[in-house]
Structure 1
Amino acid sequence: MKWEQLPLGPLQTNAYVIWNDSNEAIVVDPGGEAEKLFAWLDSKGLMVSAVLLTHAHFDHIGAVDDVRNKYKVPVYLHEKERDWLSNPALNGSEFFMLNKPIMIKNADKLLVKEQTLTINSIKFEVLETPGHSPGSVSFYVKEAGVVFAGDTLFARSIGRTDLPQGSHEQLLDSIHDKLMSLAEDTTVAPGHGPITTVQTEMDGNPFLNGF
């Protein structure tokens, strides 16, 4: 398995492309700039098989329909945000992108519990990590030692919880119970900013004192 971080969209949200030896790819959180994403995929000779969403805030979903329509692939999202893709008030674009509210088709596959997804022979453990939003999930690939954590945990920071249905206490519980319980050398691939590791954040994240 290989993967690459691609900052895209109005807030330079980290999209991730994950692919296997057969050049079958999965895109996590395509936040925007679809043509830039397509050009990168073409340069690698990759074909997309699925879109995984860590959550449905506007800056993570801007290119979802572009990818879905071009490659005819399913979009996965937690059921607690089933209505967010088509609702600018819920996905935040009504407030943060006043001239370009985002209204896209609902997800094709709803994640209703923690489970293992196998796509292109890659196993993703779906970890429910709410707090930043009610349906936030992290996708953990144990064999590769990486967790795609969305806006739950950042390098030296954590996700904001002042948006609708956010919860600071719940976010800290998610980080403690789900992410900090992973192997210490696990790479954390966040929704914004540089990659980090569980050990690095355990030792030096000022928001996680006592973890």
Structure 2
Amino acid sequence: MKWQQLPLGSLQTNCYIVENPDRSCLIFDPGGEAKKLISLLQSRSLKPLAILLTHAHFDHIGAVEEIRETYHIPVYVHKQEEKWLLDPALNGSQFFSVIEPIKVNPADQLIQNEGKMKIADFTMTVFHTPGHSPGSVSYYFENEGVVIAGDALFQGSIGRTDLPGGNQSMLLKSIHDKLLTLPEETYVLPGHGGVTTIAAEMDSNPFLNGFL
């Protein structure tokens, strides 16, 4: 399995493409610039199977509809944010004058429980990691030592919690209980910025050192 980071949209949100040797792939958080993403997929002859969202803030969902319509694939989001896709007030897009309000049709699959998830030959573990938003989830690929953490944990920082539904103490608990229990060599693929590891954040993240 291989993965690729592709910053997209007005906030350069990290979209991740996870692929298998047979060229099938999963798309995580297509935040915008759908044509750029489609061009990359076509240039590499990739075959998307699904769109998975770490959460439903506007900068993570801007290209969802065009990608779904192009490839006729399902969209996954946590149940607590199923209404966010359709509501610019909830997903935050109505508060940014530089973008059009974003409305996405309902998700095809609602994530309701933590645990193993299998899509074709892809197997991952879903962790509910609320705090940045109520329905934030992280996707852990154990065999590959990679966790796609959305806006929960960043290199040297954590997700903001001043948006609707945000809660810093809940976020810190999510990080501590769900992410920092992973093997220290696990790569953390965040929603913004560079890739880091669990070990690096345990050692030097100023938001976590006082919590451990």
Q: TM > 0.5 between the two?
A: yes
- Compute the TM-score of the two structures, normalised by the length of structure 1: 0.98
Counterpart CA distance in 1 for 2:80 and 2:172 is 19
Q: Which runs of 5+ in 2 are unaligned?
A: none
Residue 144 (structure 1) aligns with? 144
TM-score (norm 2): 0.98
Aligned to 2:101: 101
Query: Are 1:85 and 1:105, in contact at CA under 8 Å, matched by a contact in 2?
Result: yes
SS at match of 2:59: helix
1:50-89 aligned within 5 A? 50-89=50-89
1:23 aligns with: 23
Corresponding position of 1:209: 209
In 1, distance between residues paired with 2:163 and 2:73?
Answer: 30
Q: Distance in 2 between matches of 1:98 and 1:18?
A: 30
1:28-58 deviations in Å (ceiling 9; x for gaps):
0000000100111111110110000000000
CA drift of 1:115 comes to 2.2
Q: SS at 1:144's partner residue?
A: coil
Q: Could you tell me how far 1:117 is from its partner in structure 2? A: 1.2
Q: CA 1:208–1:118 in structure 2 vs 1: closer, same or farther (change >3 Å)?
A: same
Map of 2:10 onto structure 1:
10
Where 1:85 maps in the other structure, the secondary structure is: helix
- Between 1:71-80 and 1:96-105, the stretch displaced more is 96-105
Q: CA shift at 1:199, angstroms? A: 0.1
The percentage of counterpart residues that share the same residue type is 56
The corresponding residue for 2:49 is 49
The CA deviation at 1:99 is 4.8
Moved over 6 A (4+): none
Structure 1 counterpart SS, 2:193 = coil
Tell me the residue number matched to 2:184.
184
Tell me the distance in 1 between the aligned counterparts of 2:18 and 2:82. Answer: 24
Distance 1:124 1:84 in 2: 24
The offset of 1:116, in angstroms, is: 1.2
Give yes or no for contact 1:20–1:120 (8 Å, CA) kept in 2: no
CA distance in 2, matches of 1:172, 1:97: 31
Superposition deviation, residue 209 in structure 1: 1.1
Equivalent residue letter for 1:15: C
Report the 3-state secondary structure (helix = DSSP H, G, I; strand = E; otherwise coil) of the residue aligned with 1:22.
coil
1:85 deviation in Å? 0.3
Contact 1:81/1:135 (CA < 8 Å) preserved in 2? Answer: yes
Q: Secondary structure at the match of 2:3?
A: strand
CA distance in 1, matches of 2:97, 2:195: 27
1:69-128, Cα deviation, whole Å (9 max, x unpaired): 000000000000010000000000010246500011011000011021112311110000
TM-superposed CA distance for 1:140, in Å, is: 0.3
In structure 1, distance between residues paired with 2:187 and 2:99: 37
Number of matched residues? 211
Q: Which residue in 2 is equivalent to 1:117?
A: 117
Structure 1, unaligned runs of 5 or more? none
Q: 1:163 and 1:205 mapped to 2: Cα distance?
A: 22
